[in-house]
């Protein structure tokens, strides 16, 4: 059994990863963020849009709405579990968003998520994901919500920071 993390530890990890991501982004030019593409055709801006979408999915989830609403993608696509297809839809929906809009949205969604976490107790963080959703016909998800929060914030920020740094390095 994994050790139980405190709310303070969760928030600290989120803020640490967020600060490092922001520092990495602050070193980049607009050209680096919008013109260099990886093998899948993603720019740094696409990574920003992607992180904002998945973080927003947690915000709406904590508010009692299905996660697909926050992405936003079709419910059937979300339930398919095909993350590549979900991510392709997110990228296509936001292809015309400016870099400033992508950055602004990421910052706003991040603040919103922190606001959603703030009133939660440590016991709340270990409630089952299903406890945050209205009655559904879906199978009950007993995993603790702290995993979803961590996976779509601190872990996700670190993962994408590495990809962003490799992307920019390849384009130099």
pTM score, whole prediction:
0.93
pLDDT at 135: 61
Q: Is 83 exposed, middle or buried (0-12, 13-18, 19+ CB in 10 A)?
A: exposed
pLDDT along the chain (172 residues), means of 10: 82 98 97 94 96 97 92 91 93 96 98 98 94 68 93 97 94 74
Q: Per-residue pLDDT tens for 102-148?
A: 999 999 999 999 999 999 999 999 999 988 876 665 567 889 999 99
Structural domains of the chain, ranges and CATH numbers in brackets: 20-171 (1.20.120.450)
d(CA 172, CA 168): 6
pLDDT at 26: 97
């Amino acid at each position: 059994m994994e050790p139980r993390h405190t709310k303070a530890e969760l928030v600290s990890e989120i803020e640490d990863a967020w600060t490092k991501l922001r520092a990495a982004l602050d070193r980049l030019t607009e050209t680096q963020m919008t013109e260099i593409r990886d093998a899948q055709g993603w720019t740094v801006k696409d990574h920003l849009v992607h992180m904002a979408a998945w973080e927003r999915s947690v915000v709406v989830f904590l508010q009692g709405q299905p996660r697909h609403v926050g992405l936003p993608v079709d419910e059937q696509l979300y339930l398919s579990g095909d993350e590549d297809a979900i991510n392709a839809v997110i990228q296509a929906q936001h292809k015309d968003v400016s870099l400033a809009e992508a950055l602004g949205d990421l910052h706003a969604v991040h603040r919103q998520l922190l606001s959603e976490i703030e009133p939660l107790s440590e016991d709340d963080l270990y409630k089952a994901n299903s406890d945050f959703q209205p009655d559904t016909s879906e199978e009950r998800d007993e995993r603790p919500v702290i995993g979803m929060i961590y996976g779509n914030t601190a872990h996700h920020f670190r993962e994408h920071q590495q990809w962003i740094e490799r992307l920019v390095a390849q384009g130099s």
